[in-house]
């Protein structure tokens, strides 16, 4: 098979050394989705591609492809996100995001919106943004981009569009307002994950699910609302992904 040359942007979400001087990188790209790329000789500082092969480096890349295997030929770094390293919380957050992305993206499927969300979130982390807020926004928006978003239009039982409070039913992906919840009798033995929300938290969930991507962090909310939103965003996403992450357990020890 002849070699193809491919030009793309991409960010490193995982790296592993191979042999003396090579690396195997996992990249998230806008058009090829998640791909694995072999990089020869990049572990020496003399390599021109050294910076582009670091974790979270975002670059313009020239790849060669043969029989479905990619090799890095040239790279020009656009953003290193190096300032992340000045905060343990920010690094822990980025590591959790990278694990999440590795778990939910697939090879060879375009992920432009997910990539943009990751870049925006890393940029906020490097600017010393609040980690709990960034994490919750990342999780909830990712839920939306994966097509898992719950129906936030109103109570699924009485139709109230502006309930003062209620519960998000994680399995059903629906809202149940407080009035209906008190009137309802859940069937015996049914295991349900019900996540409480207030009206302000519902407004924030609606905003993060539907705003323009460049406005995703353009809101302010009380700490109690952020904390409630954060609990919902994490539990809802993990419920649907169906697994835990060591990087999240570590992050919990810091936040």
C-beta of 88 vs 158, nearer to Zn ion: 158
Strands ordered across the beta sheet of 165-169: 174-177, 165-169, 194-198
The answer to the question of residue 91 lying near Zn ion (CB under 5 A) is no
Question: SS3 helix, strand, coil % of the chain, rounded to 5?
Answer: 40, 25, 35
CB of 156 to Zn ion, least distance (A): 8
**Do the bridges between strand 165-169 and strand 194-198 make them parallel or antiparallel, or are there none, so unpaired?**
antiparallel
The answer to the question of residue 177 lying near Zn ion (CB under 5 A) is yes
C-beta of 178 vs 203, nearer to Zn ion: 178
Angle at 138 between CA 243 and CA 117, to 5 degrees: 120
**Size of residue set near Zn ion by CB under 5 A:** 5
Residue span 180-219 as binding mask against Zn ion, x where in contact by CB under 5 A, dash where not: x---------------------------------------
CB 243 within 8 A of CB 103: yes
**For residue 187, what is the DSSP state?**
P
The answer to the question of residue 157 lying near Zn ion (CB under 5 A) is yes
Q: Which of 155, 232, 237, 248 binds Zn ion (CB under 5 A)?
A: 155
The answer to the question of residue 224 lying near Zn ion (CB under 5 A) is no
From 27-35, 76-84, 176-184, 197-205, span contacting Zn ion (CB under 5 A): 176-184
H or E element at residue 15: strand 4-18
Please spell the DSSP secondary structure of 116-172, one letter per residue.
HHHHHHHHHHHTT--HHHHHHHHHHHHHHHTT-----SSBTTT--SS-SEEEEETTT
> Which residues are 102's β-sheet partners?
none
C-beta of 83 vs 157, nearer to Zn ion: 157
Residue span 114-153 as binding mask against Zn ion, x where in contact by CB under 5 A, dash where not: ----------------------------------------
- Where on the chain is the footprint of Zn ion (CB under 5 A)? 155, 157-158, 177, 180
């Amino acid at each position: 098979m002849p070699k193809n040359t491919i030009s793309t942007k991409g960010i490193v979400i995982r790296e592993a050394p191979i042999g003396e001087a090579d690396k195997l990188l996992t990249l998230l790209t806008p058009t090829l989705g998640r791909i694995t790329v072999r990089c020869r000789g990049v572990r020496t500082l003399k390599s021109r591609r050294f910076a582009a092969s670091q974790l979270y480096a975002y670059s313009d890349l020239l790849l060669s492809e043969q029989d479905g295997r990619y090799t890095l030929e040239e790279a020009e770094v656009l953003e290193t996100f190096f300032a992340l390293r000045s905060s343990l919380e920010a690094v822990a957050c980025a590591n959790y995001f990278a694990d999440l992305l590795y778990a939910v993206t697939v090879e060879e499927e375009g992920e432009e919106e997910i990539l943009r969300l990751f870049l925006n979130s890393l940029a906020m982390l490097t600017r010393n943004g609040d980690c709990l807020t960034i994490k919750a926004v990342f999780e909830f928006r990712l839920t939306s981009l994966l097509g898992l978003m719950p129906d936030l239009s109103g109570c699924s039982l009485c139709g109230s569009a502006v309930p003062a409070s209620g519960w998000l039913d994680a399995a059903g992906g629906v809202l149940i307002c407080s009035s209906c919840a008190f009137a309802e009798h859940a069937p015996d033995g049914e295991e349900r994950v019900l996540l409480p929300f207030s009206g302000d938290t519902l407004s924030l969930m609606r905003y993060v699910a539907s705003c323009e991507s460049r406005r995703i962090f353009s809101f302010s909310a009380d700490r109690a609302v952020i904390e409630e939103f954060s609990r919902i965003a994490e539990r809802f996403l993990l419920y649907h992904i169906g697994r835990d992450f060591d990087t999240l357990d570590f992050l919990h020890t810091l936040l």
